[in-house]
Structure 1
């Protein structure tokens, strides 16, 4: 049986972490034109309608639940990603759901945009609220691409599961490098890809609701399908942030504005992410039971869960200005799993 008392007494944050949180000041820069000129004015307007007694963390959590709701619905309607394949192997997803999915993702995006504004508005800004916000964002990193896969389905005009898994990893990589950047610079430079992906997802769901999933089955010259186009856009969107990450970290050392960590300390957060990537890619390719083909959704979900855990540990380290761990405690557990399942 689970010892609830022992769980309640467990120290998830050390005294060193809490001491660092007391000195922490939020620093972020958002240069995305879509965010600066469209979304922030919209969010500044919307947040005025939030009652002052409404806690920012409630907005954060409800926004996450809207994203989670899409994943849960699609897990019920389309567990194996065949519903939109068009080959009759599974019943199609109800048309009404795609309108609901568009509303859910837009509400999630909006609540994620106003939670910080609500915190500053009522004087409740703090490091734990930011940790909660970014922690849930790290879990959303797998929910959004997994839901988009159901728009196309597993068919000739879409992507095989392994290539969709690569997309998930590109989203992970984009999110993680942004926080690795902050670990070294002290500033969170918000990637442009996030705003594009949220708007893109909303539009794709609306198009699917209006025209049906068949609209994504078109093939262009040279055999380019809509699935391949989506793949290219998502990879480019994720990788577009990398040059700025490198430049910002380099500039922080050149101008002595960052944490000025030695190289060995600056790259420490990369090790748990890289180890996690190697183990799970080995599992995807060498699983005795071919888990990538037979239970794609579960592999996506498990990967997203572990990624969120690793990301939160990095976020805690960068916010408390403490040393990030180089070894994730769950690594010894997943090495034998990857060779047996």
Structure 2
């Protein structure tokens, strides 16, 4: 079942030559987090594989999402379900505290895994791919979870569509950074990452203390806390990620340090993500049944599976110096689903859940098969440390 060969011989040869290159200039990361992680990693047994640490961080986010799904499936955390407005706080406080702790643990584990790899001498392309591949889903799951922090409130919150736009804004910062690496050969870690992890954890922990209605207030005049947070998230990407990425690509051409692709080739990673995002957004806006309000969790999770798969394929292309795909194969079933839903709205519920299952299963299959293929090629194990490295 998981023996399919997604990677070509050229991809595998590219992994043989790959060398990791990243630059992190964030003051928070440089002066606070890295020293902390350098201290923590010293107490971790050398027998624990870095990929196991990475996977543990991913599982923290999965558990957080599953917990929120069980207690707040329809994202009514702050506003209460229709007909139950006299009981607006449906989620126990401990759920928010629990999720805040899990998110902070995921953040720390993501910072420690690479240090553990260098500490025991097992750094390599599999570790980076495994780390960044799971990051592509974690970066979606964090804003996806945050929807439960502010919920669906007609006065103090935002609509599910605007919640989706917040998710979209966050994941695009991640994708733009990897488009940048596709052209420059170096991953410039955005400053917003560390800050966003601290803020996300804090939002959950504070609500764990005061309850899901805590953020229902006006910041100034008619602007609510959630609306101000919404603007801040969108602005952060525009200031800290997009212009910096464009400038770094420009410098790579000027200084002849990057790949110096033609303009069409440099822009190649854009199209698959752009087409997919436009299709999903069009579906949400034109749906007769208002699909994103009817099935917000399924609809947004479907987008997350699409995003992560396209991002993972881009990461593999940048690591192996191969051309990335122009359009993902998932574009075609998505297009068929959008057309079917818009012209046969009575089938929309079936379509959105069918696509969700298809994309999630396909992405998991892709990830498992790629990891197995690389392990077989490099003759290594994903979750165990060689005996000679444990001393």
TM-score tier by shorter-chain length is over 0.9
Query: What residue in structure 1 maps to residue 99 of structure 2?
Result: 101
Structure 2 distance, partners of 1:93, 1:236, is 30
Deviation at 1:233, TM superposition (A): 1.7
8 Å CA contact 2:24, 2:188 repeated in 1: yes
Partner of 1:311 in structure 2?
A: 311
Give the Cα–Cα distance (whole angstroms) in 2 for the partners of residues 90 and 298 of structure 1. 23
* Distance across 1 between alignment mates of 2:89 and 2:95: 14
Q: Cα deviation per residue 1:64-100 (whole Å; 9 max; x = unaligned)?
A: 1111111110101001111321534776111111221
Question: Any conservation in 1 of the 2:79–2:89 contact (CA below 8 Å)?
Answer: no
SS in 2 for 1:216: coil
Q: How many angstroms apart in 2 are the aligned matches of 1:211 and 1:89?
A: 15
- The alignment partner of 2:23 has SS state of strand
The separation in 1 between residues aligned to 2:141 and 2:182, in whole angstroms, is 25
- Specify the alignment match of 2:182 in structure 1: 183
Spell out, residue by residue over 1:239-288, the C-alpha distance to the aligned partner (whole angstroms, 9 max, x if none).
22111101100000001000111111111110101111111111111224
Question: 2:44 matched to 1:46?
Answer: no
> What do the CA deviations read for 1:276-311 (whole angstroms, capped 9, x no partner)?
111111111122432111000111111000100000
| Residues 174-206 of structure 1 deviation map (CA, whole Å, 9 limit, x = unaligned) | 111100000000000001111111000111111
**Residue 16 of structure 2 is aligned to residue 22 of structure 1:** yes
Residue 221 of structure 1 and its aligned partner are, at CA, apart by 2.9
Unaligned runs of 5+ in 2: 342-347, 349-391
The answer as to 2:145 corresponding to 1:151 is no
Displacement after TM superposition at 1:222 (Å): 2.4
The aligned counterpart of 1:131 is 129
Aligned residue for 2:263? 263
Contact 1:141 1:304 (C-alpha < 8 Å) held by counterparts: no
Distance 2:156 2:165 in 1: 17
Q: 2:6 aligns to what?
A: 12
How far apart are the structure 2 equivalents of 1:187 and 1:82? 41
Q: What CA RMSD, in Å, does the superposition of the two structures yield over aligned residues?
A: 1.2
Matches within 5 A, 1:60-71: 60-71=54-65
Counterpart in 2 of 1:254?
254
Match of 2:51 in 1: 57
Distance 2:243 2:167 in 1: 20
Q: Using the alignment, how far apart are the partners of 1:91 and 1:206 within structure 2?
A: 16
- Which runs of structure 2 are paired with 1:145-224 in the superposition (5 Å)? 145-155=143-153, 156-224=155-223
Shift of 1:336: 1.6
The corresponding residue for 1:225 is: 224
SS of corresponding position for 1:273? helix
Q: Is the 8 A contact 1:165 1:300 kept in 2?
A: yes
TM-score (norm 1): 0.96
- CA–CA separation in structure 1 for the residues paired with 2:296 and 2:140: 12
1:13 Cα deviation (Å)? Answer: 1.4
Do the aligned partners of 1:60 and 1:133 also contact (CA within 8 Å) in 2? yes
Please give the alpha-carbon distance, in whole angstroms, between the structure 2 residues aligned to 1:144 and 1:112.
14
- The 3 A distance-change label for structure 1 pair 295 and 278 is same
Structure 1 pair 321–205 and aligned structure 2 pair: CA distance change class (3 A):
same
Please report the TM-score for the alignment, with normalisation by the length of structure 2: 0.84
In structure 1, the residue matched to 2:29 is 35
1:211 & 1:172 partners in 2: Cα distance?
A: 29
Instruction: Tell me the CA shift for residue 141 of structure 1.
Output: 2.1
